[in-house]
Amino acid sequence: MLSTMQDVPLTVTRILTHGMTIHGKSQVTTWTGEPEPHRASFAEIGTRAIRLAHALRDELGIDGDQRVATLMWNNSFHVEAYLAIPAMGAVLHTLNLRLPAEQLVWIVNHADDKVVIVNGSVLPLFAPLLPRMPSVEHVVVAGPGDRSLLDGVAPRVHDYEELIAGRPTTFDWPEIDERSAAAMCYTSGTTGDPKGVVYSHRSIYLHSMQVNATESMGLTDADTTLAVVPQFHVLSWGLPHAAFMSGVNMLMPDRFLQPVPLAEMIERERPTHAAAVPTIWQGLLAEVTARPRDLTSMARVTIGGAACPPSLMEAYDKLGVRLCHAWGMTETSPLGTMANPPAGLSAEEEWPYRVTQGRFPAGVEGRLVGPGGEHLPWDNESAGELEVRGPWIAGAYYGGVDGENLRPEDKFSQDGWLKTGDVGVISPDGFLTLTDRAKDVIKSGGEWISSVELENAIMAHPDVAEAAVVAVPDDKWGERPLATVVLKEGAVVGFENLRTFLAESGVAKWQLPERWTVIEAVPKTSVGKFDKKVIRKRHADGELDVTVVV
């Protein structure tokens, strides 16, 4: 028996038309570093997206599912591209401007990008790479920048405003299969070549609905979200599409991601919500601790990309800002879990839930798999690798211009679940607690030590700004933890004191690190995560001054 419901495709086109009409008065505000930010209504953004679609089709020859790349900060230009490119049937490809040059070139060639829309401020990075990107036929420059850098290296160069000027304000959008490609992002490629994840119109639409759900971010047109998480990082965690769907006002920081301008834009523009990785909030905390600012409008922050130290949550609680843990990956669009505690609990009763990665929404199924392939119970004790599946979870990686999509055995199970590489436990009511990445677990004497738990414990010390823990070889135990510590400015603390602090905070004696070193800063990946492979290499090369404390 078939249903009697209409079969209306779930597409980005519907998000675009809905946002610019139903929520036409909502705004995208872009920080410019000038006395006044740039402001544009959703109606204006939608109209400019239509003009961009005309320019891409009529002037630049984008008439199918060609890839149109963006190398841009978070700003209104980028939001227009987010809407126009998928709606016209092409594929939005967001390029990570923090990747090494070799990886950026490889990604553009692997995706076969035909057009690159680039912010003028990024031209010094992009222009030298263009001669090695033969697929790129057009470069569109948005905003101020030295266009002379493209002389002799770019095939055809266009000014964004001149390109869209005078174009029609209506577009005969094509009928698009909701399962066709809408956007793509590449993983950060910490090992091997980056891997392409291709999102469908259907997955973006469903993911946007979940972002807006009350059990997730629960934002409405009364809210303004400060989207610090880059638009090149998993589509800014889905915020631009979700915001256009529900009318959430967007505050876009452009290239002004340092603590001082972030504090200023929060105080002046009064966002009610924000999203970024922990390192952003650690930097902002140091800034407002030294020079107090009013952050109280920002009642809620979605924090993900890496484990959030509980001490950071506690510090922001005192400022009237609630950090809400989330977990996800490029392969999960990224919303996988969100740590909203069950209703009816006191603040003290909520805490054990808040420090987890959160609960699975209806669109995500999770399971734990042991080292022998056995499925483990949700008892909050049995630790295994997390596998997930759902309508916005990747089932393969993009195979390249002429290749079939890839399903490597170390990334996907035989029955189609995504192997996340994260190790953790799940409570009976579906709250996920990750204890480590599988590659970062310290295997000591046949037992596992969680590097994340040690890091959180060390960062709870009042004199510690950051800490990263990695496994290093040990003749007796196989592996032991090496604690690399970044001290707060002016702080002096002995490693013996830090070991005592860990012991008094409940860390088991056999897990206490013997090897310690102070570093200036924890190396970060292009998306702000701790880059532990750099620390491991520095240790292997003898570059770290390690002190042994027993």
Write the DSSP symbol of residue 306: S
- pLDDT exceeds 90 at position 452: no
Summarize pLDDT for 134-178 with one digit per residue, the tens: 999 999 999 999 999 999 998 999 999 999 999 999 999 999 999
| Adjacency order of strands within the sheet including 464-474 | 464-474, 478-487, 515-518, 547-548
Summarize pLDDT for 266-277 with one digit per residue, the tens: 999 999 999 999
pLDDT, average across residues 234-263: 98
Task: Single out the residue of 449, 515, 511, 509 nearest to residue 485, CA to CA.
Answer: 515
List the structure tokens of 16: 């675009």
Name the pTM for this structure. Answer: 0.87
**Domains of the chain, each with CATH number or no CATH:** 1-213 (3.40.50.12780), 359-434 (2.30.38.10), 440-548 (3.30.300.30)
User: Where are any strands of DSSP class E within 24-162?
Assistant: 27-30, 38-41, 67-71, 91-94, 113-119, 138-142, 157-159
| Parallel, antiparallel or unpaired: strands 273-276 and 224-227 | parallel
**Residues with catalytic function:** 187, 331, 443, 448
* 156 in Cβ contact with 139 (< 8 Å): yes
Summarize pLDDT for 477-512 with one digit per residue, the tens: 889 999 999 999 999 899 999 999 999 998 989 899
Indicate the pLDDT class of residue 189, thresholds 50, 70 and 90: low
Q: Check residue 447 and give its pLDDT.
A: 74
Q: What are the φ and ψ backbone dihedral angles of 49, each rounded to 5 degrees?
A: -65, -40
pLDDT, average across residues 61-80: 98
What is the 3-class SS of 416-447, one letter each residue? CCEEEEEEEEECCCCEEEEEEECCCCEEECCE
Summarize pLDDT for 290-345 with one digit per residue, the tens: 999 999 999 999 999 888 889 999 999 999 999 999 999 999 999 999 999 999 99
Q: Which amino acid, 15?
A: I
Write the DSSP symbol of residue 368: E
CA atoms within 13 A on the CB side of 474: 19
> Rounded to the nearest 5 degrees, what angle is found at the Cα of 25, between the Cα atoms of 21 and 31?
125
